[in-house]
């Protein structure tokens, strides 16, 4: 497949995304190819470690290739999207539970579906150019591909902040929020990958880990915890509006671009997940309840139209005033019964 290179090099199972001009956006076929490789290598004693990287300087993976989802959804075919998300989430879970080390090198943009394949492994490496985000609320979805798990686990109320603003994290921010593990200067990556291929030993990484240049999330933690404690989106918006600061002005501006229904559901999802019963299976199940309904009942198709198709950046969202009924959120997150996600 020209979009991806899958091979065994030495003691490493190697997966390289090869769509740099498309910011390595992941197609459905790429998703299935990665899953097949992981299944094949699981019991292969020659493969000691999985190493994932991508060509180009701009992105590890900017997300899923959503053109097909839009084309089928606008024709009333919602089954394609439902199958795409179900298969993608199954892959995310396999990476998370994989019995061998999975090392990912996350340069440039790692967003949405890129988080799903790059941020569930055992060793998530970031560098100088890393920009990690869950931007789904900007296109009428919710943070998915298991991203809601990391948002629920993030310190304090960072999960709500990152989930409904779609803010980008640099290397330090990503490590702090739990989306990455280690900072290694990108000039070292090529030699490190060669060492992993030769030895199959993730201990090769340790001597090269450095302190990341400081991000911004740490300094805003106290403010975020104070302003994002609300039980619902409406509560958070009210608290932000009552706080006169440059930070809250930027935050409200970012939220103003996003789908209110998606933001409200994101807050509810994080609140449901946070606690001792949190698991990736629970997170993916909740995400799928929303995404499987997003084309027919949510704002996904309108979000894609405005951002990708017409590029007018002027979506006509449901509940555009920001007042999202509790019943609307409950409908999007209701159990799917026989159509529930199976992993």
Catalytic residue among 144, 172, 287, 299: 144
CATH number of 4-339: 3.90.226.10
pLDDT at 322 over 90: no
Between the alpha carbon of residue 172 and those of residues 8, 212, 256, the distances in Å are 32, 5, 26
136 is catalytic: yes
What does the pLDDT average to over 299-305? 97
Give the whole-angstrom CA distance, residue 80 versus residue 131: 30
Question: Who's near 329: CB < 8 A, 6+ residues apart?
Answer: 261, 264, 265, 268
Q: What is the pLDDT of residues 107-120, one digit of tens each?
A: 999 999 999 999 99
Burial class (CB in 10 A: 0-12, 13-18, 19+), 18: middle
d(CA 65, CA 28): 8
- Return the pLDDT at 190: 98
Q: Which residues pair with 49 in a beta bridge?
A: 12
Determine whether 122 is exposed, middle or buried from the number of CB atoms within 10 Å of its CB (0-12, 13-18, 19+).
middle
Catalytic residue among 63, 113, 127, 200: 113
What's the pLDDT tens digit per position in 256-270? 999 999 999 999 999
Spatial separation of the C-alpha atoms in residues 161 and 267, rounded to whole Å: 9
34 CB-near residues (< 8 Å, 6+ apart): 4, 6, 15, 91, 117
Spatial contact of 106 and 124, defined as CB atoms under 8 Å apart: yes
State yes or no: is 144 an active-site residue.
Answer: yes
User: pLDDT tens digits for 204-219?
Assistant: 999 999 999 999 999 9
% of the chain exceeding 70 in pLDDT:
100
pLDDT at 1 (0 to 100): 58
Question: What is residue 66's predicted lDDT score, i.e. its pLDDT?
Answer: 86
Q: How far apart are CA 187 and CA 125, in angstroms?
A: 13
* Residue 159 appears among annotated catalytic residues: no
Q: What is the pLDDT of residues 144-178, one digit of tens each?
A: 999 999 999 999 999 999 999 999 999 999 999 99
Mean pLDDT of 339-343: 96
Residue of 65, 88, 136, 299 marked catalytic: 136
Q: pLDDT per residue over 126-142, tens digit each? A: 999 999 999 999 999 99
Instruction: Please state the rounded mean pLDDT for residues 72-80.
Output: 95
**156 among known catalytic residues:** no
State the catalytic residue, choosing from 13, 64, 146, 298: 64
Q: What gap in Å lies between CA 5 and CA 9, rounded to an integer? A: 12
Q: Please determine, for residue 291, whether its predicted confidence score (pLDDT) is greater than 90.
A: yes
Quickly state the pLDDT bin for 68 (edges 50, 70, 90). Answer: confident
Q: Exposure of 216 by Cβ count < 10 A (0-12 exposed, 13-18 middle, 19+ buried)?
A: middle
Question: What's the chain look like in SS3?
Answer: CCCEEEEEECCEEEEEECCHHHCCCECHHHHHHHHHHHHHHCCCCCCCEEEEEECCCCEEECCECCHHHHHHHHCCCCHHHHHHHHHHHHHHHHHHCCCCCEEEEECEEEECHHHHHHCCCCEEEECCCCEEECCHHHHCCCCCCCHHHHHHHCCCCHHHHHHHHCCCECHHHHHHHCCCCEECCHHHHHHHHHHHHHHCCHHHCHHHCECCCCCCHHHHHHHHHHHCCCCCHHHHHHHHHCCCCHHHHHHHHHHCCCCHHHHHHHHHHHHHHCCCCCCHHHHHHHHHHHHHHHHHHCCHHHHHHHHHHCCCCCCCCCCCCCCCCHHHHHHHCCCCHHHCCCC
The tens digit of pLDDT for each residue in 23-67 reads 999 999 999 999 999 999 999 999 999 999 999 999 999 998 888
Q: Is the pLDDT assigned to residue 121 strictly greater than 70? A: yes
**pLDDT of 224 higher than 90:** yes
Q: Report the chain's mean pLDDT, rounded to a whole number.
A: 97
107: Cβ–Cβ under 8 A, 6 or more apart, which residues?
54, 57, 59, 60, 127, 129, 130, 186, 189
How large a percentage of the chain has pLDDT more than 90? 97
């Amino acid at each position: 497949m020209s979009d991806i290179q899958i091979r065994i090099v030495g003691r490493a199972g190697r997966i390289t995304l090869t769509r740099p001009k498309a910011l390595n956006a992941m197609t459905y076929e790429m998703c299935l190819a990665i899953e097949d490789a992981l299944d094949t290598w699981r019991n292969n004693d020659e493969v000691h470690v999985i190493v994932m990287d991508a060509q180009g300087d701009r992105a590890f993976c900017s997300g899923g290739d959503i053109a097909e989802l839009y084309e089928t959804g606008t024709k009333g075919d919602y089954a394609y999207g439902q199958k795409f998300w179900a298969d993608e989430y199954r892959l995310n879970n396999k990476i998370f539970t994989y019995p061998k080390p999975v090392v990912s090198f996350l340069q440039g943009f790692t967003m949405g579906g890129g988080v799903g394949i790059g941020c569930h492994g055992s060793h998530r490496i970031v560098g100088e150019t890393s920009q990690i985000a869950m931007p789904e609320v900007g296109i009428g979805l919710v943070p998915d591909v298991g991203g809601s798990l990391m948002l629920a686990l993030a310190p304090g109320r960072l999960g709500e902040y990152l989930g409904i603003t779609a803010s980008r994290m640099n290397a330090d921010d990503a490590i702090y929020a739990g989306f990455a593990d280690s900072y290694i200067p990108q000039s070292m990556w090529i030699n490190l990958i060669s060492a992993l291929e030769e030895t199959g030993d993730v201990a090769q990484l340790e001597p090269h880990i450095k302190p990341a240049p400081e991000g911004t999330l740490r300094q805003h933690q106290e403010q975020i915890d104070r302003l994002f404690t609300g039980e619902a989106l409406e509560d958070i918006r009210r608290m932000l509006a009552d706080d006169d600061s440059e930070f809250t002005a930027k935050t409200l501006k970012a939220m103003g671009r996003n789908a209110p229904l998606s933001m409200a559901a994101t807050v509810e999802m994080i609140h449901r997940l946070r606690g001792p019963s949190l698991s990736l299976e629970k997170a993916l199940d909740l995400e799928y309840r929303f995404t499987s309904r997003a084309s027919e009942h949510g704002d996904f198709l309108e979000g894609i139209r405005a951002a990708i198709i017409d590029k007018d950046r002027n979506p006509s969202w449901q509940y555009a005033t920001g007042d999202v009924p509790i019943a609307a959120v409950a409908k999007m997150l209701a159990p799917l019964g026989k159509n529930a996600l199976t992993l």
